[in-house]
Each structure stands twice: as structure tokens, then as C-alpha cells.
A and B are shown apart, each in its own frame.
Chain A
Amino acid sequence: MAREEVESEVTGTVWKIETKVGDKVAEGDVLMIIESMKMEIPVLATEDGTIAEFQVEEKEPVAEGQTVVVLET
């Protein structure tokens, strides 16, 4: 088991988290949606795995490159 840190590609605000800790996800699945540049930008799973941890909550600001989710792969 390896820890894979998933980063936000954009600076913005966490708009919706529609997954939860323990969910199994495949590479490319939407983990949460960030509102940025007036757009709804998804954070996608970078590899197949299980959601181990969220490092942000809804409405919270995030910076580009900030880790928002940790996957167990």
C-alpha cells in the first residue's frame, strides 16, 4: 500500500465533495469539485485506490499544488 497525494491543479474554493473516506476510486474518477475562474474544476483520482483522507472541507480555499485528498494505492 502506498500513499498517493492528490493535488488541486488550480487555486480556488472547494465547492462540492461528493465522495467519502473509504470509497474505492479508479484513475480519472472525480473526487471533489473546486470553483475556480468561474468554472467547476474537478479533482481527479491520479491512480486506482481507496480514499484515505481529505485534507480540505467544502467552502475552504485551496492553492494550486495543495494536497486535497490522500489515496491508498
Chain B
Amino acid sequence: MAHDDLQDEYKKRRARALAMGGEAKLERRRNAGVLNVRERIDYLLDAGTFIESGLFATSLYPGDKDKTPADGKITGYGRIDGREAAIVANDFTVKGASSAGTNMKKISHMQRTSKERGIPMVYLGESSGARIPDNMGAIGMGTLLGGNASQYARLRECPWASAILGMSYGSATWYGCMADFNVMRKGSIMAVSSERLVSMAIGEKVDPEELGGWRLHSDVTGLIDMAVDTDEEAIDAIKSFLSYMPSHNEEMPPLKAVPNGSDDSARDVASLVPESRTQVYDMRKVIRAVVDKDSYFELKPRFGRTAVTALARIDGQVVGIVGNNPLSKAGAMDAMACDKITSFMVLCDSYNIPLAFFVDNPGFVIGLEAERQKAPGKIINFMNALQLVTVPKLTIMLRKNYGQAYINMAGGQNAADVAAWLTAEVSFMDPTFAVNVVHGSEGTRLEESDPERFKREFETFQKDNSVWDLAATYAVQQIIPPEETRTWLIRMLDVHRNRRTGGLGQHRLHNWPTSY
């Protein structure tokens, strides 16, 4: 064939592949205000940096060759804020981006490059599950599925970020759940199977939002880290998340310049905490005031709300913040808060991000429901993870700190250094309850039966809980006024740098399960 003819053939095939699943389907998406897969990739990557891997790949199933541009999953390399990443982006307009022979090879190829070369994986998910009929029957199953022994072996060598951007069953759901960060566009569904299949199987109409909508996953399951309104916001969230991450676990996260004015709000931080010990406040405001301006990036804000987990920068350095949030249940941690904190510590320890704990809690939630939710297992799982962490841990006690929660929130030797505000109070139990346990009798409360005695005993117990006694035992190393919290953290992050390894930790949590 002449060169010109070859060129024509190339252009024709290329145009066909780039046309995705055809104009009619693309128009439906446009009308719904949803980006198509190639627009999503353009929005994600630095302009002109996408090098596609497998543009001319197609299904090999008889009769499908011409109907499966890129076999429904677009893969390749591109730069995000100047750094290389490996991309898997599902094209729902081609057979619902279902998983089949060729596109499974494409995914493995991206994962291999990510792991071997140390670059993050990004998944833009929207998929209908395994392709039928390709995967049907014993031959389909035996040929296509189960052929990759490392596909789901998550060892956190490189950060994985995922967005759920539509109906997601099978593949997109699995990778979303395995990712270090999973953002969902509202209106998307993430579930094992579609509502259609579920409705058929159980003979009852199922509401897709209830089956796998954003409220379920942000409030109840915690399987997503964030819910947003548009495709663009979801992709922006992935870019923001990756800005806190190293490209792989053998390097430190990138340093950023400290924005002007970052010290200003830290000076007024005391005003955010009420003087009365019976009043609550929003710990997120305290954290925002202490970290570099505009660097606060909260994960799972609607899940396990008695705790806060956020990536942030302090003096330009990435830090993971774990806080109690008195605004919810007075900050008493429940099973969901334990899960949220544990998974956050796994993230930070895997990617060399120091941890800072902001503590104000009356203990763990107790009661029948707590036990049913496996509270003892969750608390000790949290504790187990905490003690395996090898990045520096720093603790600031703001106010209350009681019982086992004192230990879990990196109290005592569980932190590299501990500072306490003047308002910190520590004991095994809140004095209100302790007075009743020691001096009360079953079925009556001392504050009601003998208020004067209650007051006397309460004051004795409370006095013994003061920050001065804690400092006397050397369980806190510094007592600081609130306005010095930021400068204390900046200094301590420097003192506790892992100099022997250039900052790297040992990643002892790197194979911790992604949900449990």
C-alpha cells in the first residue's frame, strides 16, 4: 500500500476510535450535563500530555470488533500538575464500559507501569460490570476471569485515586473501593450489581439511590471520601488529593510555598473553643485556623462525624490531621469514627505523611448499639494501627481526654511529643460519672439525691484532672497557650523528621484492608 493510503487508513481508524460509542450516545450525555470519557481525561490532565495506550485496541469477540472503540476503557499516561500518572477511564458509551478480554489487559498494563515506575493510578469509573456474553459460561469464566493473581493485591506502592461518575457496578466499584481516595458525583450509583439485576433477583423494585447513592456511601458505608455535584468538581478533587501525595511510597509528598497570612488565624484559635466545658464547638474550624491557609482537605466529612480526618499543610509540609469533633456527640468516638481514623492512619503511614492529633473527647461511645457495632474490635483495631504507624505522631490536647480514648488519640508514649492547652483535663472517666460510680448508689444520681455532696466530690475529682498534674507525670512534654499551637507543630515537625531515611516511614500498614 502506498504511504498516502496508509496515512488515510490510519486517520480513518483513529477517527473511528475517537468517536467512542457514537454521536447519539454522546449527545445524550451532553444534554444531561455529563462529560464524555475523553472530555474527562482532557479536564484531568495538563494540556497536551496524554499519550494514549491502546487507542486501536478492540474486543476480539466475534462480531464486536467494529463496535468496541478502545474496547470501552481508555488508558494511557498523562501529567497532573507536571507529574506523570497512569489513567484508566471508562467509556460508558461503548458497551457500558463492561470488562472484557482486551480492556482487562489494558488495566493490568497501567497497573504494572504504576507499580514499577512509581506513578499514581487514576480511575475515572463508570461501568456496567463484566461483559456479557463474553464472560458467560464456563469457557467465558475460565478464559477471562481470575487470570490475574495481583489485580486486587493492594500494597499501596503508589497512590490510587478514583472518581465514581455514573452507574458503577463491577470494575469501577472494585477499584473505587480499593483506592486511597474515592470521590463520587451525586446522582451516580456505586454498587455490586445494578438495581435492575437486584430488582429481578429479589422480585422487588429497588431504588438505585438507596442501593448505592451518595448519601448511603458518604453517611453510612464510608466507602467514598467525598461527594460533589459535577464531573469537573470530582476531577478537581482528584487533582487536589494527589497534590498532597508523593508519586510513590519511597518519596516524600511535595512541599508547597506557605500562603501569606497563614499565621494570622492561628493567633485567634482560642476564640473558637467555648470556655464552658458543657458547650461544644466545631473542631474543623480550629484545624483550619492552625494549618496553612486554604490547605485543609477533609476526607469522609459526613461519615463518623465525631472524628475529623483531613490532609493539610503546615509550613508547606503535608500533614495528616486526626481530630475529635465535639460538635457531634460531644466528640465521643463511635465505631464509624474508629474505622475512619484507622483508614486515615493507613493512608498517611503508607505515603510518609506525619500525623497530628487534635484531642477533645469524653471517651468512646458506650451502650448496646456500640457493642453491636463491634466497638471493642474497632477500638483495638484503631489502637493496633496507631502503634504500627512509623511516621511522626504529634498530639495536642485541647480539652477533655478520657479513658481508653486518651490512649487511642495518641496519648502518652503513643506520640513523639504531646502538648496540652491550659484547658486540658485528663482522667479515666468524666468526673460527673466518676463521682456517681464512687460515691453514688445504683439507680440514683448523686447530683439529684445530694447536690451539695456531688458538688464537693466533683470539684475534688476535677481538680485532680488538671493539666498541671499531667505535666507533673511528664505525660505531656509541653503546656502551650492555644495561640502557640501552630508554631509548636512547625517546630516539632522539624524535630521529629525521620532524618535517617530522608523522612520515609516503614509502611507497616501498607497491606491493611481497604474496607473492613
State the A residues within 8 Å of B (CB). 9-10, 36-42, 44, 64
Contacts and interface: CB of A to CB of B under 8 A. Distances in A.
B362 A39 contact: yes
Given A44-B327, A64-B369, A37 B332 contact: yes
A41 B369 contact: no
A45 B280 CA distance: 16
Interface in B341-387: 362, 369
Given A37-B362, A38-B432, A64-B369, A9 B280 contact: no
20 contacts: A9-B305, A9-B328, A9-B329, A10-B329, A36-B330, A37-B330, A37-B362, A37-B430, A38-B278, A38-B430, A39-B278, A39-B279, A39-B326, A39-B362, A40-B280, A41-B329, A41-B330, A42-B280, A42-B327, A44-B327
B327 A39 contact: no
Interface in B263-294: 278-280
Contacts, number: 29
A40 B327 contact: no
B278 A40 contact: yes
Interface string B19-40: 0000000000000000000000
Contact of B279 (A9, A10, A40, A44): A40
Contacts of A36: 330
B432 A41 contact: no
Interface residues of B, number: 14
Contacts of A40: 278-280
A44 B328 CA distance: 9
A40 B328 CA distance: 10
Nearest to A28: B282
A61 to B, nearest CB: 15
A39 B330 contact: yes
Nearest to B219: A46
Top-6 shortest CB links A-B: A39-B330, A38-B432, A9-B329, A39-B278, A40-B279, A10-B329
Which of A36, A37, A39, A42: most chain B Cβ within 10 A?
Answer: A39
Most-contacted residue by chain B among A10, A37, A44 (CB, 10 A): A37
A36 B278 CA distance: 10
A55 to B, nearest CB: 20
A34 to B, nearest CB: 10
Nearest to A10: B329
Contacts of B329: 9-10, 41
Contacts of A41: 280, 329-330
Contacts of B327: 42, 44
Interface in B176-233: none
Contacts of A44: 327
B279 to A, nearest CB: 5
Contacts of B279: 39-40
A18 to B, nearest CB: 14
A10 B279 CA distance: 15
Contacts of B369: 64
Contacts of A64: 369
Interface string B305-337: 100000000000000000000111110100000
Contacts of B332: 37
A29 B432 CA distance: 29
A36 to B, nearest CB: 8
B140 to A, nearest CB: 42
Contacts of B278: 38-40
A36 B332 CA distance: 12
Interface string B395-433: 000000000000000000000000000000000001010
Interface in B426-443: 430, 432
A58 to B, nearest CB: 17
Nearest to B432: A38
A42 B326 CA distance: 10
Nearest to A39: B330
B470 to A, nearest CB: 22
Q: Which of A41, A42, A44 has the most CB of B within 10 A?
A: A41
B445 to A, nearest CB: 11
A9 B367 CA distance: 13
